[in-house]
Amino acid sequence: MSLKWLEARHFRNLTHISVDLDPGLNLFFGDNGSGKTSLLESSYFLSTARSFRDTGLDPVIQRGALDCLLRGKVQTGDMEHHIGISRDRGGSREIKINSEATRKSSELARLLPALILGPHSVDLLIGSPTLRRRFLNWGLFHVKPGPVSSDRSSTSVTATGSSSTDFPANWEEANRCLRQRNLLLRRYTANSQAGNTKELETWSARLASYANQIDRQRAQYVELYRPLFTEIVQQLAGIDGVMFDYYRGWHRETDLLDIYLKEADLDQKRGFTQKGFQRADVRITVSGQPASKVCSRGELKSLVWAMILAQGALASDTSTSEGARGTLYLIDDLASEFDEEHRRRVCKFLVETGQQVLLTGVEEKSLLAACKNQYGRLFHVKHGEVEVQEH
C-alpha cells in the first residue's frame, strides 16, 4: 500500500498543492511555518477524516475559505483507489472512495492505514489512558487475532476483513450497551429507584459479554505485539528491562458480570459504569518501575516511537486479497525529537521496513544525513507550496 498522489485545497496554510509521492521514503524540508506539518496532517486526514492536532473543524479550513478538499490515489497491489474528503464551515462532510460516497471514515482507514510520530507522541506514554486505548484499538482494527476464545494462547492473525472475529462490530455493540447501562443508572438515580432491576441486569449481561470479547482480542493482540516491541526498543533505544503490560479494566480473577451485579448500587450513586473495557490501559515499565518515573525525556521519546513503529510493523505484516498491506508513517520534525545517532537509527528502521514514509525537517542537510541519502524523493516546502528537488 502507498499513497501515490496527494492534493490539498484550502487546508491550513496550503492553498493548493498537488504532490506525486514515492512509495518509499519522502523527505520534506523547509522553514518553520512553511506548511510541512500541514502536509502531513492532510495525509492523516485522508486516512481518518480528522486532524491529529485538534478536533475542531474550522482550524483546518484555510482562513478566508468556505471549505477544504483533500484527494489522493492509493495503490494497493495492482489496484488503484481514488479517495477524497471535503468539509465546510457548517460542519458538513463528504467522503468518496472510487467516486462512491460513504459515511464511514473507517473505510478510509482500511485503504490507508497511517501513523503519526512527532513532538506530541510522548503523550501516548505520559498522557491520558484514553490515548493508549486508542492505540490498542488502532492495532486491533488493522491486525485481528482470531478466532476469539477463552484460550489466551490462540494467536493466529488474519488480515483486516478476513477474520471470523470483528473488533469494530464488537466495539460498536459494547459502546451501545455501555451507553444504555449508564442511561439506566442515571435514570434510577434521578427517580430515586433501586438499581438492581431486571432491565439493568439484562444490559449488564450484554455489556459484560461484549467487554469480555474485546478483552480477549486485546490480550491476544498484545501477545503478538510485545516481542516485536521489545525488539524495536533495543534497535532504537537500547534500554534493557522494558516490559509492555496490558490491564483490562477490572480485576483479572473476577467475573465482570458479577462485578456489575454486586456493584450496581455503587454505579448508580456515581451515575456511570466504573469498570470494564472502557477502563483498559497499557503500561510500560523499566526494571519493574514506571517508565514515566525513571526515564529521561529522551528515553521516553524513544520508547513511544518504538511503540508506534512496532504497531505499524505488525499491521504491515499481513496480506489481503488485493495484495500486500502496508502502513504510512508520517514523521514530523525528526531533528527536534532526537540527536543525530537516534535519527539515523529511526531512518534505518524505516528504510528497512520498505513502507512509505513522509518525513519532515527544517534543514535539508540533516535529513539527508539521517537517511544516508537513501530516499525516494526530496521536496522543498515554502510558503505553503511544494517543489520537487532533483537528486
Are 81 and 164 members of one domain? no
148, 250: one domain = yes
* 80 and 195 part of one domain: no
pLDDT of residue 287: 94
Q: Is pLDDT at 320 greater than 60 in this prediction?
A: no
| 272 in the same domain as 156 | yes
Looking up residue 229, the CATH number of its domain turns out to be 1.20.1050.90
- In the listed set 283, 309, 336, which residue is the last one of a domain according to the structure? 283
pLDDT band for position 148 (cuts 50, 70, 90): very low
> Are 173 and 224 in the same domain?
yes
User: To the nearest whole number, what is the mean pLDDT of the chain?
Assistant: 89
* CA 83/CA 96 separation, integer angstroms: 6
The pLDDT-based confidence of 57 (bands split at 50, 70, 90) is low
Residues 58 and 105 both lie in one domain: yes
> The C-alpha cell of 37 is what?
506539518
Q: Residue 147 pLDDT > 60, yes or no?
A: no
23 has a pLDDT exceeding 90: yes
Examine residue 123 and state whether it is found in any structural domain, yes or no. no
Instruction: Label residue 194 by pLDDT band (50, 70, 90).
Output: low
The model's confidence at residue 252, banded by pLDDT at 50, 70 and 90, is confident
Residues 296-309: tens digit of each pLDDT: 989 999 999 999 99
List the CATH number of the domain containing 97: 3.40.50.300
Domain assignment present for residue 294? The answer is no
Task: State the cell numbers at 369.
Answer: 544525513
333: how many CB neighbours lie within 10 A of its CB? 17
Q: What is the pLDDT of residue 325?
A: 66
Q: Domain for residue 227, yes or no? A: yes
| Residue range of the domain that includes 30 | 2-113+326-389
Please identify which residue in the block is written with the cell numbers 483546518.
Answer: 60
Last residue of a domain, one of 283, 308, 338: 283
Helix H or strand E segment including 5? strand 2-11
In a domain, 304, yes or no: no
- 176 and 259 inside one domain: yes
Q: For 63-88, what is each residue's pLDDT tens digit?
A: 999 999 999 999 988 899 999 999 99
Provide the 3-class DSSP secondary structure of residue 146. coil
Residues 6+ apart with CB under 8 A from 118: 37, 40, 330, 331, 332, 333, 337
Q: Kindly report the number of other CB atoms within 10 A of residue 151's CB atom.
A: 10
Residue 23 domain flag: yes
64 burial (CB, 10 Å; 0-12 / 13-18 / 19+) is: exposed
Q: Note the pLDDT tens digit of each residue in 222-250.
A: 999 999 999 999 999 889 999 999 999 99
- Examine the domain organization and report whether 277 and 155 are in the same domain: yes
Write the pLDDT tens digit of every residue in 111-139.
999 999 998 999 999 999 999 999 999 99
Mean pLDDT of 86-96: 92
Instruction: Tell me what the mean pLDDT of segment 204-229 comes to.
Output: 96
> Which pLDDT band, with edges at 50, 70 and 90, does 154 fall under?
very low
pLDDT score of 350 more than 80: yes
pLDDT at position 324 over 90: no
Domains held by the chain: number? 2
Single residue among 228, 248, 283 that ends a domain in this structure: 283
Same domain for 154 and 262, yes or no, is yes
Please provide the size of the chain in residues.
391
Same domain membership, residue 174 and residue 37: no
* pLDDT band of 55, cuts 50, 70, 90: low
Distance CA 80, CA 223 (A): 34
Q: CA-CA distance, 138 to 312, in Å (whole number)?
A: 10
Q: Which residues pair with 281 in a beta bridge?
A: 247
Whether residues 92 and 221 fall in one domain = no
Q: Which cell numbers in the block locate residue 225? A: 505485539
Q: Tell me whether residue 71 is in a domain.
A: yes
Residues 278 and 338 in one domain: no
Q: Answer yes or no: is 247 within a domain.
A: yes
Instruction: Look at residue 334 and tell me whether its pLDDT is greater than 60.
Output: yes
Q: Is 63 domain-assigned?
A: yes
C-beta separation of 30 from 384 below 8 A: no
C-alpha cell read off for 308:
508506534
Residue 53, pLDDT score: 81
